[in-house]
């Protein structure tokens, strides 16, 4: 690598990983709205952000927390805008409010339990009227771009716990490959699955949330395997839609169990002002 | 043409003058034409009715050729009993196609000199209508094929088969006179592995002669399945090129979309040049070709989503409860309850130009029926998997509707507003030409020529400054 590039890479690495994620999500949302005719209204997005950030501010003030975690709230709101679809205006803000409140209220051993965007999506498709998720919305053309950006992110963002993304993808695609081989289907089906935008988004930007996965690498691997197995059963045994979302939600209780079984170092976001992971945080580290 | 135009113009005036009455207010635009599914070659049509695991599929093939050659092989999740199979009426497909097809509507610009009239002109969007709805055996064993059941239904001989391996099944089908393409076994294998049965049908020529029909009627079957899917891969074995499939999905709760492919709404609700009034099918065909190509034959297109109690504008009357039941809508109750025999058609025939929003007959406690019309153009490499669906909770209506706006024709000097109006018409028509060129693969020069548009005139700022200025 040339010195110039190395310098750029080092500088990128020093940035908070969440800034990278926000940039990525904003790009995807723009592509989605402009080129993928998402049935997302700008009011829904605006309300999601307003409600999400207000919820975040409310809880940080009420609990007297110093670290605001605004970046994480922004990521959750982007996630909900990217995934959740509704025919009304109240679904998005409600989902954002519940998702971010759960982060402060439902905590085990100082870690929040649910992946906020996942919780918001499940609330929408499971309980709220007029809300749905369109897993096919990305199509398969976008997959190459997604792979490219995801790989780029991994190069620049080593700090993140990306291992879970790769283990999950390997497990899931392995299971799909076994099914294709067993049924004697065409391998084009496997490639079709590999190019699913929804799968890549889930693997690189949902299950990879370091705050809601087990702390130890070996536990994370087990967790990724469990999510892949549940998703596989959901999609190919029960034949129900939105398998990845439901699998992550259903596997969530495993995280504190795995953490209790095998202790590991808890994750903290490395921000620009604190180059080393700050272990001595006062109060809960909110991602 | 001119007499038709004047009839339309009269109808337009009537609608405008009646705009205080609820019916006329709710109506927006005249339905003037539609493009039906027969427009596309190699088109199959299927009606899918689904609620929970209950599924009814009706299949209408555009099979053209010797009836002896016809063979249908559909994987089904279980052995179907005789009562689960029916030969339906082709008319149901024609009705549902006509009701949900892409449509052209037209408006007439009001006289710009009559301002009060203009303000009266249609503002209100449609509101939903009232809620009321509307020796052999040994050889077979050697091949691993078991004939689970055999029926003759209508003009079809039907067998439900289970198979142990695909080569045996292919051999069995060939030996028994089913004309299936070579190499079908590869496509059959995955279904055998999933323990699915095969519904196979061919034409019983003697029975067919009795019906006296020259076409093949649709086959319908009802079953329970966890899978909300439509097998399309078998149909690709002998595909020569891209094929079209129009799927009418009838559900209770909301729009249906595919989960393993992108579902895209067709570009719709835009103004297009008025000359398309006589060329709508050609326009729609070119539009669909262009859009499908832009998506690289990788998308499923939504052409229509509507609660079947009503329509606005109506390309055809909504299906009556009886017709819906024939299509397989099983939650509509018994025929006696909803539509007594001999009851009049749900909408009395009306003036062809008048708006038709359907007051459906009151069937107490009837459930809603949402129709999603999906149109897929697929090729073997772009649709490697069968279509998997989900029912969303989305109840927003959508229709592939294209709008003609007829300009007011009058003297530019009739009133001060007239000239400004005519300028805006010229701009609008140029925009319509550009819209049409972008929707289809037609050349803009040809479109302008057909519209009798000259290149947009650059208007000088001083034109019309004094009233005697050039009046073009």
pLDDT tens digit sequence for B267-304 = 999 899 988 888 888 999 999 999 999 988 999 999 99
B16-59 pLDDT per residue, tens: 222 222 222 223 335 455 566 665 656 789 999 999 999 999 99
> In the predicted model, is pLDDT for residue A16 greater than 80?
no
Residue of A nearest to B267 (CA): A37
What percent of chain B is helix, strand and coil (3-state, nearest 5)?
Answer: 30, 25, 45
DSSP state of B318: P
pLDDT for the residue B339: 42
Mean pLDDT of A245-270: 84
B189-239 pLDDT per residue, tens: 899 999 899 998 888 888 888 888 877 889 999 999 999 999 888 877 766
Mean pLDDT of A95-114: 89
Bigger pLDDT: B101 vs A159: B101
DSSP state of B84: G
pLDDT for the residue A157: 62
Within A58-216, strands assigned E span 84-86, 107-108, 111-112, 131-133
B58 backbone dihedrals φ, ψ, rounded to 5°: -120, 135
Structure tokens at B163: 């198979």
B263: contact with A, CB 8 A cutoff? yes
DSSP state of B276: G
Cβ atoms of residues B273 and B453 within 8 Å? no
Distance (Å) from the alpha carbon of A247 to chain B's nearest alpha carbon: 17
Cβ atoms of residues A268 and A18 within 8 Å? no
- DSSP assignment of B321-347: HHHHHHHT-GGG--HHHHS-TTPPPSS
pLDDT for the residue B135: 63
Mean pLDDT is lowest, of A242-251, A276-285, B77-86, for A276-285
Which residues lie across from B135 on neighbouring strands? none
Q: Give which of A186, A134, A150 is closest to A25, Cα–Cα.
A: A150
Band of pLDDT at residue A7, cut at 50, 70 and 90: confident
Question: Collapsing DSSP states into helix, strand and coil, what is residue B52?
Answer: coil
Residue of A nearest to B52 (CA): A240
Mean pLDDT of chain B: 77
**Alpha-carbon dihedral angle through residues B347, B349, B351, B355, given to the nearest 10 degrees:** 20
pLDDT for the residue B454: 63
Q: Give which of B77, B45, B79 is closest to B59, Cα–Cα.
A: B45
B258: contact with A, CB 8 A cutoff? yes
Band of pLDDT at residue B74, cut at 50, 70 and 90: confident
Spatial distance between the Cα atoms of A45 and A253, rounded to a whole number of angstroms: 30
Spatial distance between the Cα atoms of A21 and A188, rounded to a whole number of angstroms: 31
B125-140 pLDDT per residue, tens: 333 333 333 366 666 7
B227: contact with A, CB 8 A cutoff? yes
Q: Which residues contact B233 (CB under 8 A, 6 or more apart)?
A: B187, B383, B384, B385, B386
Spatial distance between the Cα atoms of B428 and A33, rounded to a whole number of angstroms: 27
**SS3 per-residue string spanning B61-72:** CCCCCCHHHCEE
Residue A123: in which H helix or E strand, if any? helix A116-126
Cβ atoms of residues B276 and B341 within 8 Å? no
Residue B56: in which H helix or E strand, if any? strand B54-60
- Which residues on B lie below 8 Å from A184 (Cβ)? 166, 186, 189-190, 193
pLDDT for the residue B202: 85
Which of A134, A183, A184 comes nearest B257 by C-beta? A134
Spatial distance between the Cα atoms of B88 and B327, rounded to a whole number of angstroms: 8
Bigger pLDDT: B125 vs B148: B148
Band of pLDDT at residue B1, cut at 50, 70 and 90: very low
Token pair 């029912």 is at which residue? Answer: B391
A171-185 pLDDT per residue, tens: 999 999 999 999 988
pLDDT for the residue A216: 86
pLDDT for the residue A145: 66
Is B262 in contact with A139 (Cβ distance < 8 A)?
yes
Cβ atoms of residues B410 and B421 within 8 Å? no
> In the predicted model, is pLDDT for residue A228 greater than 90?
yes
Question: Collapsing DSSP states into helix, strand and coil, what is residue B158?
Answer: strand
- Which residues on B lie below 8 Å from A138 (Cβ)? 262
Q: Which residues contact A242 (CB under 8 A, 6 or more apart)?
A: A125, A133, A135, B390
pLDDT for the residue B337: 46
- DSSP assignment of A223-287: HHHHHHHHHHHHHHTS--S-HHHHHHHHHTTHHHHHHHHS--PPP----TT--S--TT-SSPPP-
- Residue pairs spanning A and B at CB distance below 8 A: 75
Residue of B nearest to A243 (CA): B259
Bigger pLDDT: A67 vs A30: A30
Spatial distance between the Cα atoms of B283 and B436, rounded to a whole number of angstroms: 9
Q: Which spans in A36-142 are helix H?
A: 42-62, 70-83, 91-105, 116-126
Band of pLDDT at residue B354, cut at 50, 70 and 90: very low
Spatial distance between the Cα atoms of A285 and A59, rounded to a whole number of angstroms: 13
Band of pLDDT at residue B373, cut at 50, 70 and 90: very high
Cβ atoms of residues B257 and B300 within 8 Å? yes
- Residue window 345-404, chain B: list those with CB within 8 Å of chain A: 381, 384-385, 388, 390, 392-396
Write down the ipTM of this complex. 0.83
pLDDT for the residue B215: 79
A233: contact with B, CB 8 A cutoff? no
Distance (Å) from the alpha carbon of A59 to chain B's nearest alpha carbon: 32
Spatial distance between the Cα atoms of A51 and A40, rounded to a whole number of angstroms: 17
> In the predicted model, is pLDDT for residue B363 greater than 50?
no
pLDDT for the residue A107: 84
Q: What percent of chain A shows pLDDT beyond 90?
A: 34
pLDDT for the residue A48: 92
Cβ atoms of residues B224 and B78 within 8 Å? yes
Mean pLDDT of A85-104: 92
Q: What percent of chain B shows pLDDT beyond 70?
A: 75
Peptide bond connecting B300 to the previous residue in cis, omega within 30 degrees of 0: no
Mean pLDDT of A235-242: 91
Q: Give which of A34, A33, A79, A30 is closest to A201, Cα–Cα.
A: A79
Mean pLDDT of A179-206: 87
Structure tokens at A115: 């992946």
Distance of CA A34 to the CA centre of its chain: 23
pLDDT for the residue A160: 62
B402-421 pLDDT per residue, tens: 999 988 888 888 888 888 88
- Which residues on B lie below 8 Å from A179 (Cβ)? none
B186: contact with A, CB 8 A cutoff? yes
pLDDT for the residue B56: 95
B154-202 pLDDT per residue, tens: 889 999 999 988 888 888 888 887 777 777 888 888 999 998 999 988 8
Q: Which residues contact A224 (CB under 8 A, 6 or more apart)?
A: A164, A167, A168, A171, A207
Band of pLDDT at residue A156, cut at 50, 70 and 90: low
> In the predicted model, is pLDDT for residue A212 greater than 60?
yes
DSSP state of B126: P
Mean pLDDT of A240-254: 93
pLDDT for the residue B42: 65
Mean pLDDT of B101-121: 73
Distance (Å) from the alpha carbon of B304 to chain A's nearest alpha carbon: 16
In angstroms, how far apart are the furthest CA atoms of chain A?
59
Using the CB atoms, write b or e for B141-151: b if 16+ within 10 Å: eebbbbeebeb
pLDDT for the residue B247: 95
B309 backbone dihedrals φ, ψ, rounded to 5°: -75, -20
Which of A85, A189, A240 comes nearest B385 by C-beta? A189
Mean pLDDT of A244-251: 94
> In the predicted model, is pLDDT for residue B347 greater than 50?
no
Is B393 in contact with A132 (Cβ distance < 8 A)?
yes
């Amino acid at each position: 690598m040339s010195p110039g590039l190395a310098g750029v890479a080092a500088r990128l690495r020093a940035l908070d990983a969440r800034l990278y994620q926000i940039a990525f999500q904003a790009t995807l949302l723009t592509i989605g709205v402009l080129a993928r005719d998402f049935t997302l209204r700008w009011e829904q997005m605006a309300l999601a952000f307003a409600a999400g950030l207000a919820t975040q501010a409310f809880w940080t003030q009420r609990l007297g927390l110093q670290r605001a975690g605004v970046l994480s709230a922004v990521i959750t709101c982007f996630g909900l805008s990217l995934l959740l679809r509704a025919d009304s205006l109240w679904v998005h803000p409600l989902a954002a409010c519940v998702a971010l409140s759960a982060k402060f209220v439902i905590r085990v051993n100082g870690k929040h339990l649910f992946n906020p965007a996942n919780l918001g999506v499940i609330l929408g498709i499971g309980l709220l009227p007029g809300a749905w998720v369109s897993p096919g919305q990305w199509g398969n053309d976008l997959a190459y771009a997604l792979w490219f950006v995801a790989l780029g992110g991994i190069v620049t963002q080593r700090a993140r716990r990306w291992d879970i993304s790769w283990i999950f993808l390997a497990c899931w695609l392995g299971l799909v490959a076994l099914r294709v081989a067993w049924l004697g289907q065409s391998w084009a089906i496997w490639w079709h699955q590999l190019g699913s935008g929804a799968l890549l988004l889930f693997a690189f930007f949902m299950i990879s949330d370091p705050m809601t996965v087990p702390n130890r690498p070996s536990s994370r691997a087990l967790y990724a395997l469990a999510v892949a197995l549940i998703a596989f059963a959901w999609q190919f045994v029960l034949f129900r839609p939105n398998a990845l979302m439901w699998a992550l939600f259903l596997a969530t209780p495993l995280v504190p169990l795995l953490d209790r079984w095998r202790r590991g170092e808890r994750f903290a976001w490395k921000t620009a002002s604190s180059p080393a992971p700050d272990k001595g945080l006062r109060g809960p580290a909110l991602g | 043409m001119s007499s038709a135009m004047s009839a339309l113009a009269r109808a337009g005036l009537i609608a405008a003058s009646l705009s205080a009455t609820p019916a006329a207010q709710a109506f927006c635009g005249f339905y003037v034409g539609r493009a039906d599914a027969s427009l596309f070659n190699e088109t199959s049509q299927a009606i899918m009715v689904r609620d929970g695991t209950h599924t009814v599929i009706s299949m209408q093939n555009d099979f053209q050729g010797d009836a002896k050659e016809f063979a249908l092989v559909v994987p089904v999740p279980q052995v179907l009993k005789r009562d689960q199979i029916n030969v339906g009426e082709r008319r149901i497909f024609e009705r549902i196609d006509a009701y949900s097809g892409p449509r052209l509507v037209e408006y007439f610009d009001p006289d710009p000199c009559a301002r009060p009239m203009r303000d009266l002109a249609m503002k209100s969007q449609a509101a939903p209508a009232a809620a009321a709805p509307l020796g052999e055996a040994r050889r077979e064993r050697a091949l691993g094929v078991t004939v689970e059941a055999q029926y003759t239904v209508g003009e079809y001989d039907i067998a439900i088969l289970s198979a142990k391996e695909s080569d045996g099944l292919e051999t069995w089908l060939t030996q028994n006179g089913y004309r299936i393409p070579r190499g079908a076994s590869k496509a059959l294998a995955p279904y055998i592995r999933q323990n699915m049965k095969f519904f196979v049908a061919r034409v019983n020529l003697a029975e067919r002669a009795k019906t006296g029909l020259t076409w093949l009627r649709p086959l319908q079957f009802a079953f329970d399945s966890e899978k909300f899917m439509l097998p399309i891969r078998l149909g690709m074995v002998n595909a020569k090129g891209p094929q079209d499939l129009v799927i009418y999905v009838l559900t209770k709760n909301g729009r249906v979309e595919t989960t393993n492919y992108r579902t895209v709404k067709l570009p719709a609700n835009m103004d297009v040049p008025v000359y398309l009034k006589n060329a709508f099918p050609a326009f729609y065909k070119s539009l669909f070709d262009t859009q499908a190509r832009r998506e690289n034959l990788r998308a499923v297109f939504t052409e229509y989503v509507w609660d079947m109690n009503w329509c606005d504008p109506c390309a055809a009357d909504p299906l009556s409860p009886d017709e819906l039941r024939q299509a397989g809508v099983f939650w509509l109750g018994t025929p006696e309850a909803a539509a007594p025999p001999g009851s009049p058609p749900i909408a009395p025939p009306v003036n062809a130009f008048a708006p038709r929003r359907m007051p459906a007959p009151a069937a107490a406690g009837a459930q809603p029926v949402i129709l999603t019309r999906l149109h897929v153009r697929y090729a073997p490499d772009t649709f490697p998997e069968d279509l998997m669906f989900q029912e969303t909770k989305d109840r927003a209506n959508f229709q592939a509707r294209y709008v003609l706006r007829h300009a007011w024709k009058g003297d530019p000097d009739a009133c001060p507003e007239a000239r400004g109006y005519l300028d805006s018409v010229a701009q609008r028509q140029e925009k319509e030409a550009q819209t049409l060129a972008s929707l289809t693969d037609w050349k803009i020069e040809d479109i302008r020529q057909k519209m009798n548009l000259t290149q947009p005139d650059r208007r000088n700022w001083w034109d019309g400054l004094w009233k005697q200025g050039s009046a073009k």
